[in-house]
Structure 1
Amino acid sequence: MTTWATNAWYVAGWDAEIDSAPMARTICGVPMMFYRRLDRSVVAMRDACPHRLLPLSMGLREGDSIRCRYHGLKLGPEGTVEEMPLKNDAPNGRICVETYAVEERHRFVWVWVGDRDKADVALIPDLWPCSADGWTFDGGYYHIAADYRLAIDNLMDLTHETYVHAGSIGQAELMEADIACEVDGERVQLSRWMPGIDAPPFWRGALKKPGPVDRWQICQFLMPSIVMIDVGVAPQGAGASLERHDQGVRGMVIDAMTPESETSHHYYWGMARDFDIDDAGFTARFKAQQGGVFLQDKEVLEAQQSAILANPDLKLAAYRIDEGGVRARQIIARRIRQAEEAAQ
């Protein structure tokens, strides 16, 4: 049994990652290859030549087609053979390679994992701040040698910031503030409100004002593997609340965890923000700082995965602070179970 849901959209890469040269990426256990046609639309196909299974990502681009580097079989962007290895052989229409539905949205390239006939762009997670007017968005990518669900656990429980990210976004008040968890269908929301506190270094610099602040963290899990975190601070007394908080500086941390294997995943991270949106220098500096924060998470998650493998007789414990991640895992498991039942 796999640990990820199918018949769902997963992030395959940033829009800037995928270009004319083939890019290999294993997604949900399937080796895939991506490239852009001359019109810049994205092609996604199985990364294995149907002849001798050499990865097509090693192949040669010819127009919108790909030619295998081993014996020269040429395949069109729809996965059908255009030329056989021997030039005098007519193309065999029965030779083809699997292709996948793709869509570009919110700066990401999404690929549908599952029954292609069920691919529906309306099911792409709504990462609205990444495309909304008055916001700017950028981020990066890490390969993490850990189960993608461990990253979801990490992002749905931000108390770890106190210790893992001390000096940037962590502070003791994270351990003192109460949390509230809500489940709405396949969406989980975990909220934390911290009124009248000193802002941590990053948020103090973003606000550019002295004095106590009200700080919020609202973590949302969206199927199949997205966590979007509404974060920010406002001057104390400005009227900010968990329900409405546009009085200070606000950001939306975007996290997309795409499974690679049972013990590794692709992590696409970034932040959309509604302040200083025209300051390209700040965007670059903040991206570098955020990348450093997430490298700390990468170190922890990979060490955690190693410990899990080294201690097969032990199980993860769940405390009240883990409720968001537990609920998210339950939703993923339910979707997997429903797919298995439907296939029987």
Structure 2
Amino acid sequence: MTYITEAWYPVVWADRVGRELTRHTVLDEPIVIYRLENGDIAALRDVCPHRRAPLSLGKLKGDTIECGYHGMTFDCSGKCVLIPGQEIIPRTAMVRAFPLQVKYGMVWLYMGEPKNADPAKIFHIEQYGKEGWHAVQGDTLRIECNYLSLCDNLLDPAHVTFVHASTLGTPAGAAVPVNNDYGESTITVWRWIRNGPVIPLFEKFGKLQGLVDRWHYYTYSMPCNFSIDMGSCVAGAIPDMEKRSEGVQMFTCHMLTPVDERTVLQHWFHVRNFRTDEHDIDAALSAGLDMAYREDKVVLERIQIEEERDPHFKNITLGIDAAPMKMRRMVAATIESEAAGRP
């Protein structure tokens, strides 16, 4: 499996990083993450360059890591500062340090060349922190499937009616076609369902009843991040589709960490424009969203098993597959371009 490397990837919620050494895997790369004494966070390759013992098995001493095998000690820049019983430290006694940023309460690492680590290229959602919107940190779901399979799912409004009947869907959307808009590094799949029943989550938390117009805009950003704009209004109340913020609107954001060929972490949060001062509903709304994502998890993990059982099976292609297929071509082309640019 190969991945896009010249990109920022989410790893772990920052409030879960403390003064202990924790091991993470991103793009098949082992990484140790810990908090410094001044409150900052450091990330190093979790491999001692001597015998390849994981540094996460060692000890944190101040802001340095002492390898648990032979005591080689590395600072947060990856430089070896001590070798017990040896005064001369080889110049090659280094561990890779990853550029790191915290955004949306999430630790992001740049997995490519450090000189290319532009924080402005981290996934962005305009409504986060904006007046009139309330952001709620969600959780992380581990799914035993290839990350591109989850990307397919998050570019597919058509499955909502059938997988999420108790949370995000209603039968009214089954026959409504989707529209696709393509950018250089983004894809948006969207549709409006007019004059239909309200979805269960918006009936409960958005206080909507009767017939509504509702929308889904699924926007993918390379390498594997998504913002899903979902909302509803009283039927006929918003004829201009660009004025969706006048209705009950919520963005659910999904930031994916490809762990390895068959494992992905789905980090998520939501930003809403309704009941923004009623923080007592945050946990219940997040629980409803978590239930929906676990419904996807069941399907995706079974698909992974079937793909591994019969890797030569030929899937048929439907019209709803246009955006996922485009996404996979974009990823493949970027991986190929990166490979061509390497010495």
If the length of structure 1 is used for normalisation, what is the TM-score? Answer: 0.94
Cα 1:3–1:128 shift into 2, 3 Å: farther
Instruction: For 1:230, give the aligned amino acid.
Output: D
| Structure-to-structure mapping, 1:150-161, within 5 angstroms | 150-161=149-160
Larger CA deviation: 307-316 vs 219-228: 307-316
Asked whether the 8 Å contact 2:26–2:257 carries over to 1, the reply is yes
Larger CA deviation: 191-200 vs 242-251: 242-251
| Structure-to-structure mapping, 1:101-250, within 5 angstroms | 101-135=99-133, 136-239=135-238, 241-250=240-249
1:40 is paired with a residue of what secondary structure?
coil
Asked whether the 8 Å contact 1:3–1:333 carries over to 2, the reply is no
Asked whether the 8 Å contact 1:214–1:240 carries over to 2, the reply is no
Instruction: For 1:313, give the aligned amino acid.
Output: H
Instruction: For 2:290, give the aligned amino acid.
Output: G
Give the count of matched residue pairs: 342
Deviations 1:242-295 (A, max 9, x none): 322122211111111211111111111222112222322211111122112111
Deviation at 1:146, TM superposition (A): 0.6
1:130 is paired with a residue of what secondary structure?
coil
Q: Find the aligned partners of 1:99 and 1:61 in 2 and give their Cα distance.
A: 16
Q: Find the aligned partners of 2:315 and 2:336 in 1 and give their Cα distance.
A: 21
Deviations 1:198-239 (A, max 9, x none): 102111122213221110000101011011110011112322
Q: Find the aligned partners of 1:97 and 1:133 in 2 and give their Cα distance.
A: 43
Let me know the Cα RMSD of the aligned residues.
Answer: 1.6
Cα 1:317–1:25 shift into 2, 3 Å: farther
Deviations 1:153-208 (A, max 9, x none): 00110211222112111211221222110101111011110111110211112221
Cα 1:306–1:50 shift into 2, 3 Å: same
Instruction: For 2:233, give the aligned amino acid.
Output: A
2:241 is paired with a residue of what secondary structure?
coil
User: Which runs of at least 4 in structure 1 moved beyond 3 Å after TM superposition?
Assistant: 88-94
Deviation at 1:240, TM superposition (A): 5.1
Instruction: For 1:19, give the aligned amino acid.
Output: G
Structure 1 segments unaligned to the other structure (5+ residues) = none
Q: Which residue of 2 aligns with 1:319?
A: 318
Deviation at 1:90, TM superposition (A): 4.8
Deviations 1:18-74 (A, max 9, x none): 222122111011111111212222211100122222211222111111112222221
Q: Find the aligned partners of 2:208 and 2:297 in 1 and give their Cα distance.
A: 32
| Structure-to-structure mapping, 1:1-344, within 5 angstroms | 2-86=1-85, 89-135=87-133, 136-239=135-238, 241-343=240-342
Structure 2 segments unaligned to the other structure (5+ residues) = none
If the length of structure 2 is used for normalisation, what is the TM-score? Answer: 0.95
Larger CA deviation: 90-99 vs 149-158: 90-99
Q: Find the aligned partners of 2:129 and 2:52 in 1 and give their Cα distance.
A: 39
Cα 1:248–1:206 shift into 2, 3 Å: farther
Larger CA deviation: 294-303 vs 203-212: 203-212
